[in-house]
Amino acid sequence: MCSEMEEDVAFLDSLFEEFSLEKPREVAKAVKSEKRALRYQKVAERRKRRRVEEHQRRRERQKEARGTETEEKPGLEMKRLSVCIDLGFCSAMNSKERGKLIRQLGRVWGLQKRYPGLSTTLVNIDEDFVTDGERIVSGFRSFAWKTTTQRLEDMQSTSAIVYLSPDAEMEPLMFVEDDEMYVIGGLVDESGRGSMSREKAEDLGVKCRRLPIPEYMTKASRGTFNVMLTINQVVEILCRLAVSGYRTLWKENVKSEPSEGAPSSSNIFEEHYFPSTRQQQEVGAESSYTHEMRASEDDDFFTAHMVSRRNRLDTHAVEKTELSLERARSSKAELEHVVDIGVTKKRKSGLDAINELIDPVWNFNDDVLLDMMTERVIYEDESVVALDKPYQMAYSGTKPGQAQLDRLLTRLAQRVAPECQKLYVVRTLDKHCTGVVLFAKNLERHAQLREAYEDGRVEQKYHCLVKGVPVEEKATISIPLVKLIKGKDMHLEPVRNPKTALNVYNVITKYEIINSSASNCSLIGATVSKDISHQIRAHLSHGAGCPLIGDNKYNLKNRKLPPKVSPTAMAKLDLAPQQFRRLPMFMHLNQLLIPRGGVNSKYILIRAPVPHAFYYVLKKLSLLKK
Query: Quick one: what percent of the chain has pLDDT higher than 70?
Result: 72
Residue 335's Cα: distance from chain center in Å? 34
CA dist 244 and 83 (Å) reads 18
Work out the pLDDT band at 342, boundaries 50, 70, 90.
very low
| Burial of 528 (C-beta count, 10 Å sphere; 0-12/13-18/19+) | buried
**Closest C-alpha to 83, from 150, 204, 183, 158:** 183
For the beta carbon of residue 102, count every other beta carbon within 10 angstroms: 18
**pLDDT (mean) for 234-260:** 55
Residue 244's pLDDT is 53
Residue 559's pLDDT is 79
Query: Of the ranges 96-105, 198-207, 450-459, which one carries the lowest mean pLDDT score?
Result: 198-207
pLDDT tens-digit map of 283-341: 333 333 333 333 334 444 444 444 433 333 333 333 333 433 344 344 334 333 333 33
Q: Does the structure show a pLDDT above 80 at 120?
A: yes
Q: Does the structure show a pLDDT above 90 at 586?
A: yes
Residue 208's pLDDT is 86
Residue 604's pLDDT is 92
**pLDDT (mean) for 576-598:** 90
Helix, strand, coil % over all residues of the chain, rounded to 5: 40, 20, 40
Check residue 353 and report its DSSP letter: H
Q: Does the structure show a pLDDT above 70 at 1?
A: no
Torsion angle (degrees, nearest 10) of CA 182, 185, 190, 194: -110
Angle at 226 between CA 222 and CA 228, to 5 degrees: 160
Query: Of the ranges 50-64, 176-190, 400-414, 545-559, which one carries the lowest mean pLDDT score?
Result: 176-190
- Between 153 and 364, the higher pLDDT residue: 364
Work out the pLDDT band at 219, boundaries 50, 70, 90.
low
**Sign of the CA dihedral running 360, 362, 368, 369:** positive
Q: Report helix angle 366-374 to 409-416, nearest 10.
A: 40
- Between 506 and 226, the higher pLDDT residue: 506
* 461 strand-pairing partners: 527, 591
Residue 220's pLDDT is 60
Q: Who's near 622: CB < 8 A, 6+ residues apart?
A: 517, 518, 519, 572
**Closest C-alpha to 182, from 82, 89, 115, 111:** 82
Residue 52's pLDDT is 86
Work out the pLDDT band at 615, boundaries 50, 70, 90.
very high
Q: Does the structure show a pLDDT above 50 at 71?
A: no
Q: Who's near 361: CB < 8 A, 6+ residues apart?
A: 369, 372, 390, 391, 392, 393, 403
Residue 339's pLDDT is 36
DSSP codes, 463-507: EEEEES--SSSEEEE---EEEEEETTEEEEEE-S-TTT-SSEE--
CA dist 518 and 217 (Å) reads 45
Q: Assign 233 to helix, strand or coil.
A: helix
Helices (H), 66-166: 67-70, 95-114, 127-136
Residue 186's pLDDT is 62
Q: What is the mean pLDDT of the chain?
A: 76
- Between 293 and 243, the higher pLDDT residue: 243
CA dist 626 and 622 (Å) reads 9
**Closest C-alpha to 118, from 166, 85, 93:** 85
**pLDDT (mean) for 473-488:** 89
Q: Which amino acid is at 286?
A: E
Q: Does the structure show a pLDDT above 50 at 100?
A: yes
Q: Does the structure show a pLDDT above 60 at 132?
A: yes
